[in-house]
Amino acid sequence: AARPFEQVPGERRGGWLNLYRFWQEGGLHNVHNIMARKFQRFGPIYREKLGVYESINIISPRDAATLFRSEGMMPERFSVPPWVAYRDYRNNSGRWGAAGEAWRSDRLTLNKEVLSPQVVEGFVPLLSEVGEDFVRRARAQVQKSGRERWTADFSHELFRFALESVCHVLYGERLGLLQDFVDPEAQRFIDAVTLMFHTTSPMLYLPPALLRGLNTRTWRDHVHAWDAIFTQADKCIQNVYRDLRLQRKSSREYMGILSSLLLQDKLPLDDIKASVTEMMAGGVDTTSVTLQWAMFELARSPGTQEQLRTEVLAAKHKVAGDRVKMLKTTPLLKAAIKETLRLHPVAVTLQRYTVQEVVLQDYRIPPKTLVQVGLYAMGRDPEVFPKPEQFSPERWLLPGSKHFKGLSFGFGPRQCLGRRIAELEMQLFLMHILENFKIETKRAVEVGTKFDLILLPDKPIYLTLRPL
């Protein structure tokens, strides 16, 4: 018989004391390293109590498999208390943290418009166009520099690229963010999303009811950030709504996710707005940071970069530049994105509340327990990924290598809603870059990771694009 829950190693009491120590030790930006260290100290399962939240933490793909196989039809993750607090505070009918049947039926409708293979193929030309514009802009910057190359911290460029991309598929329209003049409203939106993430982490382990009553700078900034996000998204949504009513859009071409949802008329308008706003906000920092890491890793592994380029150019040649077909013959490119997310996941953990008893590492975990899969720690565990420090996309092409290891977008019915958008956007971006430029960086520079709700580079990454 499996061991009792009480025997799981780790901390059992002192949630507030732990939270205080955590703050003091600068743990706020260091969640990922603290977790990795705890796995070293306690082994592959440990318990932890921070503030009012108690969790069980696991690292092995086998345990992740056990957890996800028992998650049922309506999985719930850690709800991010500050986001729930904002939703309650504004009384808006936001969807974040929605649970049970309400979440499930919305999500099934959304899946058809955002994740299903038939629809997703239609995103390719939209996303490819934005990638081409990035290349055009990069060439102009090379010209301007007068030095046959463009060296910069690309983070702001990539934020704009990412927002332009996600808006193109959501609204079927271009914002024009890859030109010299950047619309200040769009820039405000980008800044608001970054601020929203940044102000979430200090409040992450406090209960929503407490947060709402708070009058701290952090909470006020958080509310302002979400307000700005909703206001800006609403403007975009109203534009599309008006164009639809005035039949300014031709019904022949694909008109974007929002139009499809509106025309389908299956979700209440407020739910559509909330979902589209979440996707617009979720589509900025996630893909842009991952692309920054991907270019950094490719710059540091010129051999791998050349292999990818060869694959992409061969694919292009074979199918005469048809991007949909190219994506079917570029496994190494896809593996490179998986490999980037292994070393640099966006989410430090995946979480689920158990719905039935599960046995993890031979301990009996009761229902309603918060269990976290340490995604960052798993990605760097030599028992899971041999030579974890090496950036090596080929490891994903070995047979049997993937079993509950490629979890960057989560798993099952509650996995990332933007997954296909994100994947296509990143694959197409890298394709266009590899076809046109060599990516270089100064060899010696080491860049670490900082937790700011999502995981980010801890210093600016300088990259050089050199026309081939």
Per-residue contact string for residues 277-306; x = within reach of ligand HEM by CB under 6 A: -xx--xx--xx--x----------------
CB 284, min distance to ligand HEM, A: 8
Listed ranges 4-12, 229-237, 313-321, 410-418: which one lies at the site for ligand HEM (CB under 6 A) = 410-418
CB 412, min distance to ligand HEM, A: 7
178 binding partner (options ligand HEM, ligand 2DC, none; Cβ < 5 to 8 Å by kind): none
**Among residues 110 and 223, whose Cβ is nearest to ligand HEM?**
110
Task: Kindly state the helix (H) or strand (E) to which residue 270 belongs, with its residue range.
Answer: helix 269-282
3 SS3 class: strand
Among 347, 358, 373, 433, binds ligand HEM (CB under 6 A): 347
CB 411, min distance to ligand 2DC, A: 13
288 binding partner (options ligand 2DC, ligand HEM, none; Cβ < 5 to 8 Å by kind): none
Q: Is 415 in the site for ligand HEM (CB under 6 A)?
A: yes
348 binding partner (options ligand 2DC, ligand HEM, none; Cβ < 5 to 8 Å by kind): ligand 2DC
Are the C-beta atoms of residues 289 and 300 closer than 8 Å to each other?
no
Q: How far apart are CA 91 and CA 399, in angstroms?
A: 50
Per-residue b or e along 312-344, where b marks 16 or more CB atoms closer than 10 Å to that residue's CB:
beebbeeeeeebeebbeebebbbbbbbbbbbbb
385 binding partner (options ligand HEM, ligand 2DC, none; Cβ < 5 to 8 Å by kind): none
CB 298, min distance to ligand HEM, A: 16
Q: How far apart are CA 103 and CA 99, in angstroms?
A: 5
Residues 422-451 that bind ligand HEM (CB under 6 A): 422
Among 417, 424, 431, 465, binds ligand HEM (CB under 6 A): 417
Rounded to the nearest 10°, the torsion over CA 115, 120, 124, 130 is: -40
Among 47, 107, 344, 438, binds ligand HEM (CB under 6 A): 107
Q: Is 405 in the site for ligand HEM (CB under 6 A)?
A: no
Are the C-beta atoms of residues 256 and 170 closer than 8 Å to each other?
yes
377 binding partner (options ligand 2DC, ligand HEM, none; Cβ < 5 to 8 Å by kind): none
Are the C-beta atoms of residues 178 and 161 closer than 8 Å to each other?
yes
Q: How far apart are CA 140 and CA 117, in angstroms?
A: 35
Q: Which two tokens stand for residue 36?
A: 């990795």
Closest residue to bound ligand 2DC by CB: 282
CB 253, min distance to ligand HEM, A: 21
* Side-chain half-sphere CA neighbours of 149 within 13 A: 11
**Among residues 360 and 453, whose Cβ is nearest to ligand 2DC?**
453
415 binding partner (options ligand 2DC, ligand HEM, none; Cβ < 5 to 8 Å by kind): ligand HEM
78 binding partner (options ligand 2DC, ligand HEM, none; Cβ < 5 to 8 Å by kind): ligand 2DC
Q: How far apart are CA 289 and CA 331, in angstroms?
A: 22
How far out from the chain centre does Cα 304 lie?
24
Per-residue contact string for residues 131-170; x = within reach of ligand HEM by CB under 6 A: -----------------------------------x----
Listed ranges 9-17, 172-180, 219-227, 408-416: which one lies at the site for ligand HEM (CB under 6 A) = 408-416
Q: How far apart are CA 29 and CA 219, in angstroms?
A: 18
Whose CA is closest to 366, among 54, 20, 11? Answer: 54
Whose CA is closest to 66, among 345, 348, 341, 365? Answer: 365
Rounded to the nearest 10°, the torsion over CA 278, 280, 281, 283 is: 110
Neighbours of 246 (CB within 10 A): 8
Using DSSP bridges, classify how beta strands 45-50 and 449-452 pair: parallel, antiparallel or unpaired. Answer: unpaired
Q: How far apart are CA 161 and CA 290, in angstroms?
A: 13
Residues that bind ligand 2DC (CB under 6 A): 77-78, 80, 96, 204, 278, 281-282, 286, 346-349, 351, 453-454
CB 127, min distance to ligand 2DC, A: 17
Structure-token match 């080929």, residue found? 394
Q: How far apart are CA 218 and CA 82, in angstroms?
A: 10
**Among residues 346 and 377, whose Cβ is nearest to ligand HEM?**
346
- Footprint of ligand HEM on this chain (CB under 6 A)? 77, 107, 166, 278-279, 282-283, 286-287, 290, 341, 346-347, 350, 408-411, 414-418, 421-422
